[in-house]
Chain A
Amino acid sequence: MERDGSMTDSVVMRASDLENWSTGAPDGARVRNAPAGDIEVVDLNAWFGNHRALRDVNLSINGRAVTAIIGPSGCGKSTLVRCLNRMHEEVRGARVEGKVLFDGRDIYAPDVDPVEIRRRIGMVFQRPNPFPTMSVLDNAVAGLKLVGGLSRSELRERGEWALRAAGLWEEVKDRLHEPGARLSGGQQQRLCIARALAVEPEVLLMDEPASALDPASTLRIEELVQELKERYTVVIVTHNMQQAARVSDWTLFMLYGEVVEFGPTSKLFTRPDDQRTEDYVTGRFG
């Protein structure tokens, strides 16, 4: 599939390639039957000015699976996920070295447009951040609408699809034109997930998506993550050990900007190779 067309082109292009979801997605909305969405991190280092936040990180993230990143505060979890869609470089004075291969291609290669990478690798932030001037529906389709090229009815269809995918549709279908900021915190976070899904990314990065939410909303998001992994590669940062154990297939444990251990979640939580991992997951540390 071509990747270097203009943004609108690539949206349209993909639309024709894709099949409808089994979930009964409307015609305008579908998923790629496309590549696996594997990410390979090679010797990645990241700096904030002189502060080195990531040290020689190597890692293979498997497509269509959930990878959890755990570790004490300040160990570089957010920095790592932000390096995966080139958001790290948006911080003043921040710098990256190394490679991140996405479906075999280095996203840091000089000819790669970060805008395109971010469209394919979406992100959900710790704090829900819906656009305050936009309605629920406009928020959901912001990534499409602001680029243009889709009709109102197409946008509406995509919006409904994304809101359904984020498990929010039933709650907001009568409030689509209210400001997005008027939803509850948990709803806002799912709105942000819908917004990220609406542009049909292949990977979804979630940086502590539930840490600002109550237990019920947290549970809702965890269920959502389970559903999403059928079709997306999901990387989720969490401080909550149980959450990591519940939702992820793979877990990465980091310390001081380095990878300590990476493996299947069940193994990492029951028979870790590294003593530090064991101390951390059993709560004897950090």
Chain B
Amino acid sequence: MIPAAGVVRSPGVSRARRIRDRAFTAGVWACGAIALLPLMLIFAFVIGKGAAALNLDFFTKEPNPPGVPGGGIVQAFIGTGMIMGLAIAFSVPLGLLTGIYLAEYGRGRTAGFVRFIAEILLSTPSIVAGAFVWAVVVVAMGTFSAIAASIALTVLMWPILTRATEEILRLVPDDLREAGLALGLARWRVILRVVVPTAGSGIFTAIMLAVARGMGETAPILLTALGNDFVNTNPGAPTDAVPLRIYFYAGSPVVQFHALAWGGAITLLAAVLVLSITARVLSHRQLKRVH
């Protein structure tokens, strides 16, 4: 008779093995915990400091003058919404089209060049992008504006979207492209109606990660949108943004403003977290579907 594998262990070997196994497991857990620690600390800190600032006024009122307690940063939320909306409107179509071009058509030199540009932009410090847009757009328009800020963010988000889209589309099996072409569908139709939908949630993931990245940018917005203490809905005028508010208030000598800065930090962190987690969940599903 062949005993089950678990039954035939000599006690000596087994104990040593078990100890090593435990030690290793503990080690891995410890590493995991150490990696998580900074994240947890950031959360605890931000929430501890900022939770008090979160009330209805915070989301609905403009800031009070120094010395007058209360107030909110509604203009920053509206500004961030406007800047991000414009940035998404610019960068998503551009990024997807470039990604599709690189994955589906991109051969030879032009594609190589485009890819190279995206690569460079991807590693460009965001403040450089901001300075560039300041020089080109802000100076030309004669004013800081939400549009200028969204262009600066587009410079940062476009390469992320482009590279991610290209990579995701490459994961779509060629079988499907051939099946579409063999049905007598034009190539662009196969791409738009078969390949892109198959990559669907992966592309959505990329969009969300790009948005999360853009939303927290501070330096390029400072150089292009400038900031504003009041609600502004004109995309051609100086505009506030949440990261800007955090930056202004964190450095402010007025203590009452510090709480607002922390409150802004919480909301920003929450938004980015939601985007990242959704992106994660979606990309997980996507992987399951393709394989």
- State in angstroms the CA–CA spacing of A133 and B289 once bound together: 9
Tell me which of A87, A122, A147 has the highest count of chain B C-beta atoms within 10 A of its own C-beta: A147
Closest to B182 in A: A123
B175 touches A87 (CB 8 A): no
B33 CB within 8 Å of chain A: no
Contact-residue bracket for chain A: 20 to 34
Distance in angstroms from B291 CB to nearest chain A CB is 10
Check if B198 sits within 8 Å of A195, measured CB to CB.
no
Is the C-beta of A132 less than 8 angstroms from some C-beta in chain B?
yes
Nearest CB of chain A from residue B180's CB, rounded to whole Å: 8
B289 touches A115 (CB 8 A): no
- Is A48 in contact with chain B by the CB < 8 A criterion? no
Bound complex: CA of A130 vs CA of B176, how far in Å?
Answer: 8
A-B contacts, 7 listed (Cβ < 8 Å): A7-B184, A90-B178, A125-B179, A125-B182, A131-B198, A133-B198, A196-B182
B200 at the interface (CB under 8 A from A): yes
CB distance from A155 to the nearest CB of B (A): 14
Partner of A199, one of B173, B178, B183, B290: B183
Q: Shortest CB–CB separation between residue B87 and chain A, in angstroms? A: 28
Instruction: Flag if A133 contacts B197 (CB, 8 Å).
Output: yes
Bound state CA distance, A133 and B195, in angstroms? 10
Contact code string A138-158 (vs B, CB < 8 Å = 1, else 0): 000011001100000000000
Q: Are A122 and B182 in contact (CB under 8 A)?
A: yes
Contact in complex: A146, B107 (CB < 8 Å): no
Q: Chain A residues with Cβ under 8 A from B184's Cβ?
A: 7, 115-120, 122, 143, 199, 201
Interface string of B177-195 (1 = CB under 8 A from A): 1111111111001000110
Instruction: Scan A178-203; emit 1 where CB is below 8 A from any B CB, else 0.
Output: 00000000000000100110010100
What 6 pairs across the A-B complex have the smallest Cβ distances?
A119-B184, A143-B183, A123-B182, A129-B175, A118-B184, A133-B197
Q: How far is the CB of B286 from chain A (nearest CB, A)?
A: 11
Q: From the candidates A115, A127, A133, A143, name the one contacting B200 in the complex (CB within 8 A).
A: A133
Instruction: Specify which chain B residues have a CB less than 8 angstroms from the CB of A130 in the assembled complex.
Output: 179
- Beyond contacts A87-B182, A92-B107: 11 other A-B pairs, Cβ-Cβ < 8 A, are A90-B178, A115-B184, A116-B184, A117-B184, A122-B182, A129-B175, A131-B179, A132-B198, A143-B185, A146-B180, A199-B183
